[in-house]
Structure 1
Amino acid sequence: MSERRGIPAKAYAYAAAGLVLLALPFYLERFWLQAGLFAIAAAIGAVGINLLTGATGQLSMGHAFFLAVGAYGYCALAGDGTDGLSGLGLPGWLAAVLAVGLAGLAGGAFSPIAGRLHGAYLGIATLALIFIGQHVLFNAHGLTGGYNGRAVPPLNLFGLTFDDTELLVLQVPFGSVEKLWYLGLALLLGGVAFARGVLRGRPGRAMNAIRDHRIAAGVLGIPVARHRAAVFVLSSMYAGLAGVLLALVFQRTVPEYFGMALSLEYLAMIVIGGLGSVAGAVAGGVFVALLPQLLGRYAEALPLVSAPGTGGVAPGEAARYLYGAAVVGVVLFLPGGLARLVARTPIHRPSGESR
């Protein structure tokens, strides 16, 4: 009886949270919606690397490379060449789908290595992707725009253009961030649902067996190399999707963003949120993505934190210190991350109710 009574309360909580998220564009200013979109994109990418590292035990240092493939792939596929850069002029929705597929193909090209290496060896191998990606992004000027990057074509979907052209909804003007907000929520919901389905099914059990003891998993008949390669491709596609969304939010891609620091941030997200937990990956992604935004917003009111170039600690640096400390704190005092903290929260039941 207790479980039956608990389901409606949980459903009501989810419904209330959903309604709040849907209503935010009507009340929040552009800064907060943009910060929320950064968090949504980070959460999507964190779910992907959590499938790889948290659920399967494969260390990847090259997640930023696949975000760059998604972001720049969308620009190249959707661009029309009027800016002097390469572009195929494809419809925005098709370019986005193909960009995610392109990230998956890049992961597939690397998957033979990912299927045979593990631990620190795989981490070092994926580290090479960052250096290769940075070299290409800075030097392939006709494709990437070089150091200055390239503008991101707006997305067109079902006749709706996700640009700053105002669209009145209930007398509220909707610009690009308001429109992208609902798209981002839909993509995050779909990504979370798919990842949960994978982890709860036979692939998820195989992935966990490989993570816990790969030799024993092979003895049980699990094709270890094939599963590792497949998860690497899936994680790359999640990263590509996050890269496309980030490009649409930024409205310009720059090579500096897709460097080593971004890959380390994604590892921090899944450690803080909880390895192997989809909800934990989302929570960690939101935490790490929002922290520098909040510090930058309130830099003047915080001690030691100031705007870049004015002395003191820049918001971005302060954010790295804080979530670095959070990683150490989680490892020492909360090994399961934020997901374990939520799981430990006691459930209050009426007196006399059976457990």
Structure 2
Amino acid sequence: MSDLLKRAVGGPGALLLPGALVLLALPFYATGFWLQSGLFAMAAVIGAVGLSLLTGTTGQLSLGHAFFLAVGAYGYVWFSGRPGGTGPARLTGLGLPPLLAFVLAVALAGAAGGLLSPIAGRLRGMYLGVATLALVFIGQHVMLNAHAVTGGYNGRSVAPMELFGFALADGSPSGLLVLGVPFGGLERLWYFGLALVAIALLTARNLLRGRPGLALGAVRDSEVAAAVMGVPVARYRSAAFVVSCLYAGAGGALLALVFRRVVPETFGLVLSIDYLAMIVIGGLGSVGGAAAAAVLVTLLPQVLTGYADDLPLLAPAGSGSAGPTPGEAARYLYGAAIVLVLTLAPQGLAGLARRRPRPARTTLTTLDTPQEQTP
């Protein structure tokens, strides 16, 4: 057995194959509620990995991640949508093929980040955080008033994704069965989301393990030392900001496909704070930790909503009962998780995984070699 196979069987790779098989098989067993929740989690994983590269790896604080998610979501809607409506409610769109519209939406988010990259290259810490915070409020104003593009307060419906003529939505081909299981829109979209997550994680992993990752880590640890070693600090800051925006654009476009309708209220300051919570809980600078925390933060309110009738102290949304709603309870819980992480486990979920006890290894040399006897 080669060394590579040994490491895969004995290390984290031991869980990789079973986990991948479970994810691939879920559409055959899970209900629509859980598939939709899982797709929300996938979109969050992509966005959280991008923010982790910027904040965790490079040390640049961004509070405007929701803005770039909105650029990706509305970019896809506009590129793929067709003109419709009359009078003040008339909507515009280019009517491009959905896959091309998705790629252009991601590129649009990256271009928006590129326009702001000179600012990201010069500012650091809280100064960049305040500058990006302004983007959220500017974005809210634009989304509410650019009716022809965004649909205003009511938002816009989202054109379904199509791959080479195959629609990832309910409808054509109608009555699609795979191993006797009906495959509707969520089941079809599930595998598209899995492919996007795999691409996002592999790209981030290769980026961090290469020279760019070392340079970004050096910028975070000490800008002076990085500059002395020949790292162009401003350029790498700007590049990290653009890459983070590309990830946000992909996450936002996938989020739009899952929601099937995008509204400005979704992309507020609370969403940016949610993403900061993800990377803090997961562990700053850890791609795997950010992905795991994104799943946790996204699925927690979904789980509480699904079981609100059976859980004590929770008031189902719209019931008017006393007590916190599932969404509010979820924020309380992961708010408490942030406090616990900052005080007890500063390296987050990734640090806890690295600190787990490992079985002691005994070498054959120790067992077979007789001990020398002292006279």
Change (3 A) 1:225 1:15: same
- Please give the alpha-carbon distance, in whole angstroms, between the structure 2 residues aligned to 1:353 and 1:32: 49
Q: Deviations 1:175-219 (Å, cap 9, x if unpaired)?
A: 111111111111101100000111111100110111011122112
- For residue 337 of structure 2, the aligned residue among 322, 326, 332 is 326
**1:146 maps to which residue?**
152
- Structure 2 residues not aligned, in runs of 5+: 367-375
- Please give the alpha-carbon distance, in whole angstroms, between the structure 2 residues aligned to 1:99 and 1:113: 22
- Please give the alpha-carbon distance, in whole angstroms, between the structure 1 residues aligned to 2:365 and 2:22: 33
- For residue 168 of structure 1, the aligned residue among 173, 177, 184 is 177
Q: Is 2:208 the partner of 1:192?
A: no
Would you say the 8 A contact 1:74–1:95 is kept in 2? Answer: yes
Would you say the 8 A contact 1:144–1:150 is kept in 2? Answer: yes
Q: Deviations 1:287-312 (Å, cap 9, x if unpaired)?
A: 11011101111111222211223232
Q: Deviations 1:104-138 (Å, cap 9, x if unpaired)?
A: 00000111100000000000000000000000001
**2:40 maps to which residue?**
38
- Please give the alpha-carbon distance, in whole angstroms, between the structure 2 residues aligned to 1:353 and 1:306: 60
- For residue 62 of structure 2, the aligned residue among 60, 63, 71 is 60
Q: Root-mean-square deviation (CA), in Å?
A: 1.7
TM-score by length of 2: 0.91
- Please give the alpha-carbon distance, in whole angstroms, between the structure 2 residues aligned to 1:328 and 1:5: 38
What is the count of residue pairs matched by the alignment? 355
Change (3 A) 1:185 1:349: farther
Aligned partner letter, 1:250? F
Q: CA deviation at 1:159?
A: 2.1
Aligned pairs for 1:82-231 within 5 A: 82-83=84-85, 84-165=90-171, 166=174, 167-231=176-240
| Higher deviation after alignment, 120-129 or 152-161 | 152-161
Q: Is 2:14 the partner of 1:8?
A: no
Change (3 A) 1:314 1:155: same
- Structure 1 residues not aligned, in runs of 5+: none
Q: CA deviation at 1:80?
A: 1.2
Would you say the 8 A contact 1:2–1:353 is kept in 2? Answer: no
- Please give the alpha-carbon distance, in whole angstroms, between the structure 2 residues aligned to 1:99 and 1:324: 32
Q: Deviations 1:198-248 (Å, cap 9, x if unpaired)?
A: 111110011011101112211221111110001100000000000010000
Aligned partner letter, 1:7? A
Aligned partner letter, 1:324? G
Aligned pairs for 1:271-350 within 5 A: 271-309=280-318, 310-311=320-321, 312-348=323-359
- Please give the alpha-carbon distance, in whole angstroms, between the structure 1 residues aligned to 2:288 and 2:297: 14
Q: CA deviation at 1:9?
A: 3.9
Runs of 4+ in structure 1 off by over 4 angstroms are 1-4, 349-355
- Please give the alpha-carbon distance, in whole angstroms, between the structure 1 residues aligned to 2:210 and 2:361: 34
- Please give the alpha-carbon distance, in whole angstroms, between the structure 2 residues aligned to 1:67 and 1:176: 22
TM-score by length of 1: 0.96
